[in-house]
Amino acid sequence: MARPTRSRIAWLIGCAALLLLAVLLSLAVGSRQIAPSEVVQALLHGGTSNDAEVVRSLRVPRTVVGVLAGAALAVAGAVMQGLTRNPIAEPGILGVSQGASAGVVCAIAFFGVHTLGGYVWFAFAGAALAAVAVYAVAAGGHRGASPVKLALAGAAMNAFLASVVSGIATTDARALDEFRFWQVGSISGRGTDVIERIWPFVAAGLLLAALMARGLDALALGDDAARALGHDVARLRVLGAVGATVLTGAAVAAVGPIAFTGLAVPHIARALVGSAHRWVLPVAALLGPVMILFSDVLGRIVFPPSEVPVAVTTALLGVPFLIALVRRRTVAAA
């Protein structure tokens, strides 16, 4: 699938332009419509008008959180798909997001941790545990992890953790009140403090993923081929798992569980620029935020004045994608 570098660069630029458009829309559209020119004005020159206040104090943080979470989830999905050689691997479907969110709920309910800086670590731990458990379960038995086994193991993990969370919710009303808004998966109402907390983790995770691009390409050929090409497969797996876990954990700690971004975006990216990870990863990092921001904007305008949480919109947009993917012969036959 060799594609001319020029067309790949063109796609990269196109995606960046799309991201810019999404950011602008996210800043301008909402229960208070603000003209794009006003938005630019408010960003560049400040000002004290109501519009400028709304843009700077509400919509800018929300948009930045969306960008960070989108990039993190999409790249996490791409890495998971590469590591497992499995087209439907994704933080949401595999239960990794739910693991992170169960970690956060436990942190709130049992350890009295109430700050994002504190419970982000629990999110990492939960995501890592869930990822390892699901993969171990799916890879057991004879032929290793087929898509159907991975998805089922993920569904079981999701159901299990959901029951744990609702068990905590029914026994601990105070904790429920703290996490019930966060648990839906939404990027609204997240302030600059959230951004300050999670951007180092997202950056670290993205860097780790970027360093692994070649290794992931080699892994796509199979473990033996990767070894023959001089890669340490075990180390690659561990590093990749760490990267995906950090990205998922950080995104979930910030915005709650959001599914399907990590599934759809890497596939779109591969369709655009081929399967080489040094191209897929940056395109995914650009398109992930596009998906989150567009979904969020859509959620703001369908039922005004109330908003649809972004996780609901991404799931409704992403499921047709999953179904189309499954209907292709290769996934179900495996």
Partner 1 sequence: MNRTTAGGTSAAAPTVPAAPTAVRSAVRPAGHAVLRAGRASFLVHRRAAVVATLLAVLLTVAVVAYLCVGESFVSPVQAVDVLLGRPSPDTFVVGTLRLPRLVVGLLAGAAFGVAGALVQTVARNPLASPDVIGVTHGAGAATVAAMSFGLVSHTSLPYVSVGGGLGAALLVYAFAWRRGLNASRFVLVGIGVSIALGSLTQLFLTKGDFLVAQQAKVWLTGSLNSRGYDQAAPLGLVLLVAVPAALWAARAQRGASFDDDTAVALGIRLDRLRLGLTVLGVVLASVATGATGPVDFVALLAPQIARRLTRTAQIPLLSSALTGALVVVVADLLARRLFSPVELPVGVLTAAVGAPYLMWLIARTRGRSGGSTS
Site for partner 1, rule CB under 8 A: 88, 92-93, 133, 136-138, 140-144, 146-149, 151-157, 159-160, 162-164, 166-167, 170-171, 184, 259-260, 303, 306, 308-309, 311-312, 315-316, 319, 322-323, 326-327, 331-334
Unique residue bearing structure tokens 């399907």 = 260
Question: Closest separation between CB of residue 175 and partner 1, Å?
Answer: 13
Nearest of 292, 237, 297, 299 to residue 264 by alpha carbon: 292
Q: What are the φ/ψ torsions at residue 18 (nearest 5 degrees)? A: -60, -40
Question: Closest separation between CB of residue 330 and partner 1, Å?
Answer: 11
Question: Closest separation between CB of residue 284 and partner 1, Å?
Answer: 20
Question: Smaller CB distance to partner 1: residue 52 or 98?
Answer: 98
Helix pair 277-302, 60-84: axis angle to 10 deg: 140
CB environment 91-102: b (16+ within 10 A), e (fewer): bbbbbbbbbbbb
Question: Closest separation between CB of residue 61 and partner 1, Å?
Answer: 21
Q: E strands, the chain, where? A: none
Question: Closest separation between CB of residue 170 and partner 1, Å?
Answer: 6
- Are residues 237 and 82 in contact, defined by beta-carbon separation less than 8 angstroms? no
Question: Smaller CB distance to partner 1: residue 115 or 166?
Answer: 166
The whole-angstrom separation of Cα 297 and Cα 307 is 9
Can you say whether the dihedral through the CA atoms of 151, 132, 262, 104 is positive or negative?
Answer: positive
DSSP state of 275: S
Question: Smaller CB distance to partner 1: residue 40 or 137?
Answer: 137
Question: Smaller CB distance to partner 1: residue 45 or 142?
Answer: 142
Neighbours of 234 (CB within 10 A): 10
Question: Smaller CB distance to partner 1: residue 216 or 259?
Answer: 259
CA-based Rg of the chain, rounded to a whole angstrom?
20
Question: Smaller CB distance to partner 1: residue 155 or 210?
Answer: 155
Nearest of 186, 189, 180 to residue 312 by alpha carbon: 186
CA distances from residue 12 to 26, 212, 284 in whole angstroms, order as listed: 21, 19, 10
Question: Closest separation between CB of residue 183 and partner 1, Å?
Answer: 9
Question: Closest separation between CB of residue 300 and partner 1, Å?
Answer: 13
Question: Smaller CB distance to partner 1: residue 30 or 282?
Answer: 30
